[in-house]
């Protein structure tokens, strides 16, 4: 473990130098609260914290490594501030905040940010709601204008029409993410049993459907008045900006917004259960699931760290007790223990997915889980347990500092939850101080023989598998009145400047494309890399040409199964011992496979790179391929396939591939395989594929590290010994003729939504040819949030949570697809709108305004493309895989800025003929088929 990590963990000197900025030269009304800096031997996030006269907290973190800024406004209000019978308001209000304000037009927020080349979103949890944008650094003032206008001037633009559309959007989001997903309703049911009636965490963040129906525009206005004042908000800005100018802008745009009602912290009281509560539910799932929860403490409680360590010992990966007792022996397909914490409460959360091959009875799993908990008491805590978890926490902390958005999120979260942005050192210190006795103490205090919630989720009609008969029914409280605190005044704010004028952009920043070096190991393996010195970390990825494309159709899934076997035992050590070794380093080594390649991904702190590479080489060159590992991994893969068949999105993806490429091509079969293909695979097949795929001549390497080329390359000496011949990828069979204009319907009884795909085969990947130009052409149609299709189906009609179109290209072939999950009752209407939008665009093309928008958005967005090591690695991989010139982005810029509307519209005319496209719908046939038939398309029912 590197000394500076330990130094940070025990450092008492948290805040550094005094500020050079004095109160005299700050804007009027702005107060400097603190300046926090770090020396080179420490890890932390330097920042300055200010407060405006109206109570707004402002945190500034300067980072000029990339020409971008990340702006985050976090309000200390989430679903925990809601009232009984009024759930979902915080999340619904998040949606309303994107619908325009007094000086910002409807949909203009998305338009401005996207055209500036940025990304944006918002999120709501139990404790806070945040809104954030990442944009090129010259767009900062616009972001402050946008955020301040919706903080101070939202209500004049809030209409009943907007409210109704966003209520439908939220209902669609709930249908897509909860009601139409396997196990989707589990968490909200579980929370009802874990928390007392009326507890702020006893209802779901997204809200109960009846509560959403009950909500009114006045309710939303009151929620805004009560919680969205500047004194309940933190504005955090990170990136490349001028500090004095930024403070002046912040004061100008936010300083005149009046304070809201005073907000006090909610009381934190430990949750206790009077007895063990059993609940159950049937769901459209394949694998029975048991979930167990023990109430514990709350975020930043003195016992939180010890409980986190306990969770890791019980069920944190292959070295845990649950893995040994449930997964290793085949009784569970997956099992895990975690200790998630929120502001007011934490829980020890345990789950296991039963293996039907062992009967699938959840009562058996419950007993095995409880036996594992009892075994812990006998086993105790080892020195390795403590060190492993502490190193993992430290490594996770370092990796979280790789992006400006990650650092800003950390600062904002720490400020909201603790009032102190500078918690990294304190957090590391509290984990470093946890002792064996601490872990045993919290085990006895919160877990041993304590009441718990036990939930069973079983397939429809299989209640015989539940762990125990239900003994708990949640109570409900009377519906609370919204204005319980009285109507709040809404002072009319007259701004001191003209807010209708959107700020202009600053000087466009210079793009910082990674400086790439290329070398070859002595065996000929190409290595491409770049040096990134922001964090002491290494990302190293080995790509092997082949993957699923090397596999015969009848052996689909073999590439993935072989990769999973390489994640298991070596000839020297068991998979548990290898996992333990990696965990002690804070490193990961992961083997995977996809359509065209097998991949080895290594992430490590630089100080532990040599040891991590040695483990990777052991796994790669000396796999054990034992019968026991194979039987377990194969069974897990089979159960995963069976389980995924409950997911509408998986059914849609698998069926679409089959329609486009045919069942006699590997591209037409999912790379995870089918039940029949995987069931027939043998250990001999794995060994044969390993011999074919994992050869040095198939490999290329990409690396992003804080090491120079000269220092890094010698560390790859073990891979320079890698020999073997290149595999020959077999040719594709002829593709099937597409029956354009045909609706293929997959029946998913009881589905809350329908998944719609409209698709055709299209162009393979190229960086500067028609494929790239088709990407530009599609952008106004369905490539951006404020594209025609998304604005129509989501914002105007309220049919969906989102709708998109895209071109996807590989080395051999590509496809075009329009996709969305829509309410079942509007399936035919949504499909008609899809067809109308695509057909109109194909016939008429884009407008001059859309052309300008596309050019600005895509060209300026390149400032965000190379920030994190993983983004840099992806950029390098594109150059490596497709043999691109290193200045290909310059060529793309030229195309973006010079391509004519006529050329793009000609591409639309040739590539978007709706009559060439097949239509796939996954939904409840009984509900949607009659309406679909009225559209006049032939309908064929598919069975996977």
**CA pair distance 298, 267, nearest whole angstrom:** 11
Contacts of residue 44, defined as CB under 8 A and 6 or more positions apart, other chains included, come to 8, 14, 36, 38, 422, 424, 425
pLDDT of residue 184: 93
| 277-399+421-465 is classed CATH 3.40.50.12160 | no
Give me the residues of the chain with pLDDT under 50, please: 1-21, 483-486
pLDDT of residue 866: 85
**CA pair distance 144, 151, nearest whole angstrom:** 10
pLDDT of residue 17: 36
pLDDT of residue 487: 55
**CA pair distance 235, 421, nearest whole angstrom:** 12
Two structure tokens written together for 573: 């050590």
Whose CA is closest to 941, among 651, 929, 834, 930?
Answer: 929
Q: Which fold has domain 743-942?
A: Cytochrome Bc1 Complex; Chain A, domain 1 (3.30.830)
Tell me if 852 sits within 8 A of 886, measured CB to CB: no
Q: Which residues make up the CATH 3.30.830.10 domain(s) of the chain?
A: 277-399+421-465, 517-720, 743-942
pLDDT of residue 492: 72
Two structure tokens written together for 663: 């069942």
Tell me if 292 sits within 8 A of 346, measured CB to CB: no
Please count the residues of the chain. 944
pLDDT of residue 25: 84
**CA pair distance 874, 865, nearest whole angstrom:** 10
At how many degrees (to 10) do helices 3-10 and 383-399 cross?
90
Percentage with pLDDT > 90 across the chain: 83
List of long-range contacts for 3-8, beta carbons under 8 Å, 24+ apart: 3/41, 4/41, 4/42, 4/43, 5/43, 5/394, 5/398, 5/428, 6/432, 7/41, 7/42, 8/42, 8/43, 8/44, 8/424, 8/425, 8/428
pTM of the shown model: 0.92
What digits encode the pLDDT tens for the residues 765-792?
999 999 999 999 999 999 999 999 999 9
The class (CATH top level) of 517-720 is: alpha beta
**CA pair distance 824, 821, nearest whole angstrom:** 9
pLDDT of residue 19: 39
**CA pair distance 875, 853, nearest whole angstrom:** 24
> Vertex 848, ends 845 and 849: CA angle to 5°?
110
**CA pair distance 657, 752, nearest whole angstrom:** 24
What digits encode the pLDDT tens for the residues 390-441?
898 889 989 988 999 999 999 999 999 999 999 998 898 999 999 999 999 9
Question: How many Cβ atoms from other residues are within 10 Å of residue 520's Cβ?
Answer: 13
pLDDT of residue 15: 35
Tell me if 729 sits within 8 A of 545, measured CB to CB: yes
E strand or H helix that includes residue 644: helix 627-644
């Amino acid at each position: 473990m590197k000394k500076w990590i330990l130094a940070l963990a025990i450092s008492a000197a948290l805040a550094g130098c005094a500020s050079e900025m004095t109160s005299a030269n700050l804007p009027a009304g702005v107060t400097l609260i603190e300046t926090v800096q770090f020396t080179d031997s420490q890890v932390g996030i330097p920042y300055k914290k200010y407060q405006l006269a109206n109570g707004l907290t402002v945190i500034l973190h300067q980072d000029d490594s990339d020409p971008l800024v990340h702006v985050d406004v976090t309000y200390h209000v989430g679903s925990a501030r809601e009232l009984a019978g009024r759930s979902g308001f915080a999340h619904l209000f998040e949606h309303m905040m994107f619908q325009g304000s007094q000086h910002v037009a409807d949909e203009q927020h998305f338009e401005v940010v996207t055209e500036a080349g940025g990304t944006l979103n918002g999120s709501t949890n139990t404790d806070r709601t945040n809104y954030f944008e990442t944009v090129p650094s010259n767009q900062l003032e616009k972001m402050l204008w946008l955020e301040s206008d919706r903080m101070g001037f939202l209500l004049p633009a809030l209409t009943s029409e907007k409210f109704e559309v966003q209520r439908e959007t939220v209902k669609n989001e709930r249908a897509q993410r909860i009601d139409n997903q396997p196990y989707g309703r589990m968490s909200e049911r579980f929370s009802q049993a874990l928390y007392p009636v009326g507890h702020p965490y006893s209802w779901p963040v997204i809200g109960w459907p009846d509560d959403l129906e009950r909500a009114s525009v006045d309710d939303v206005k009151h929620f805004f008045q009560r919680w969205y004042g500047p004194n309940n908000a933190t504005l955090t800005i990170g990136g490349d900006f001028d500090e004095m100018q930024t403070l002046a802008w912040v004061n100008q745009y936010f300083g005149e917004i009046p304070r809201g009602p005073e907000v006090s912290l909610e009381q934190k009281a430990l949750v206790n259960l009077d007895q063990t509560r059993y609940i159950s539910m049937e769901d459209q799932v394949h694998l029975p699931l048991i979930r167990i929860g023990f109430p514990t403490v709350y975020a930043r409680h003195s016992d939180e760290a010890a409980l986190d360590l306990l969770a890791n010992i019980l069920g944190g990966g292959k070295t845990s007790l649950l893995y040994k007792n449930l997964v290793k022996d085949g009784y569970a397909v997956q099992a895990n223990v975690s200790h998630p914490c929120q502001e007011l409460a934490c829980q020890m959360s345990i789950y296991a997915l039963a293996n039907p091959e062992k009967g699938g009875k959840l009562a058996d799993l419950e007993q095995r889980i409880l036996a594992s908990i009892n075994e812990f008491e006998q086993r105790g805590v080892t020195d390795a347990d403590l060190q492993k978890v502490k190193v993992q926490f430290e490594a996770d902390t370092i990796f979280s500092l790789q992006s400006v958005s990650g650092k800003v999120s950390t600062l904002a979260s720490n400020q909201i939850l603790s009032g102190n942005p500078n918690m990294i050192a304190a957090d590391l210190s509290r984990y470093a101080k946890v002792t064996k006795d601490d872990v045993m103490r919290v085990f006895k205090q919160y877990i041993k023989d304590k009441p718990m919630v036990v939930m069973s989720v079983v397939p429809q009609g299989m209640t015989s598998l539940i762990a125990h008969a239900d003994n708990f029914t949640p109570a409900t409280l009377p519906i609370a009145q919204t204005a319980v605190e009285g109507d709040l005044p809404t002072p009319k704010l007259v701004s001191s400047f003209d807010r209708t004028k959107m700020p202009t952009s600053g000087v466009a920043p210079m793009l910082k494309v990674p400086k790439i070096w290329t070398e070859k190991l002595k065996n000929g393996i190409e290595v491409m890399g770049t040096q990134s010195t922001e964090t002491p970390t290494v990302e190293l990825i080995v790509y092997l040409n082949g993957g699923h494309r090397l596999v015969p159709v009848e052996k689909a899934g073999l590439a993935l199964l072989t990769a999973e076997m390489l994640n298991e035992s070596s000839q020297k050590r068991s998979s548990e011992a290898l996992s333990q070794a990696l965990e002690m380093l804070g490193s990961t080594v992961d083997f995977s496979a996809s359509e065209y390649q097998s991949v080895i991904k290594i992430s490590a702190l630089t100080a532990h790179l040599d040891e991590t590479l040695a483990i990777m080489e052991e796994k790669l060159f000396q796999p054990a391929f034992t019968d026991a590992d194979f039987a377990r991994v194969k069974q897990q893969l089979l159960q995963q396939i069976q389980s995924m068949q409950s997911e509408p999105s998986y059914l849609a993806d698998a069926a679409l591939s089959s329609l486009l490429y045919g069942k006699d091509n590997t591209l037409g079969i999912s790379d995870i395989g089918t039940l029949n293909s995987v069931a027939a695979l043998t250990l001999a097949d794995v060994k044969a594929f390993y011999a074919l795929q994992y050869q040095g001549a198939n490999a290329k390497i990409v690396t992003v590290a804080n090491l120079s080329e000269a220092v890094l390359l010698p560390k790859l000496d073990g891979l320079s010994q890698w020999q073997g011949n290149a595999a020959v990828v077999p040719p594709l069979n002829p593709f099937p003729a597409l029956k354009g204009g045909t609706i293929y319907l997959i029946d998913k009884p009881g589905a809350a939504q329908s998944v719609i795909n409209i698709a055709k085969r299209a162009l393979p990947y190229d960086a500067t040819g028609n494929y790239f130009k088709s990407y530009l052409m599609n952008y106004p149609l369905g490539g951006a949030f404020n594209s025609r299709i998304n604005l129509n189906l989501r914002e105007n009609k309220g049919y969906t949570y989102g709708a998109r179109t895209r071109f996807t290209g590989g080395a051999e072939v590509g496809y075009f697809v329009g996709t969305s999950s829509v309410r079942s009752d509007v399936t035919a209407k949504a499909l008609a709108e899809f067809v109308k939008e695509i057909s109109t665009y194909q016939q008429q093309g884009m407008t001059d305004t859309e052309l300008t928008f596309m050019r600005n958005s895509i060209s300026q967005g390149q400032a965000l493309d190379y920030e994190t090591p993983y983004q840099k690695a992806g950029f390098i991989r594109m150059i490596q895989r497709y043999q691109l010139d290193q200045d290909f982005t310059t060529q793309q810029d030229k195309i973006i800025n010079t391509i004519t509307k006529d050329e793009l519209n000609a591409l639309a005319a040739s590539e978007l003929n709706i009559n060439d496209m097949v239509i796939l719908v996954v939904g409840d046939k009984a509900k949607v088929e009659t309406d679909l038939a009225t559209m006049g398309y032939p309908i064929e029912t598919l069975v996977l």
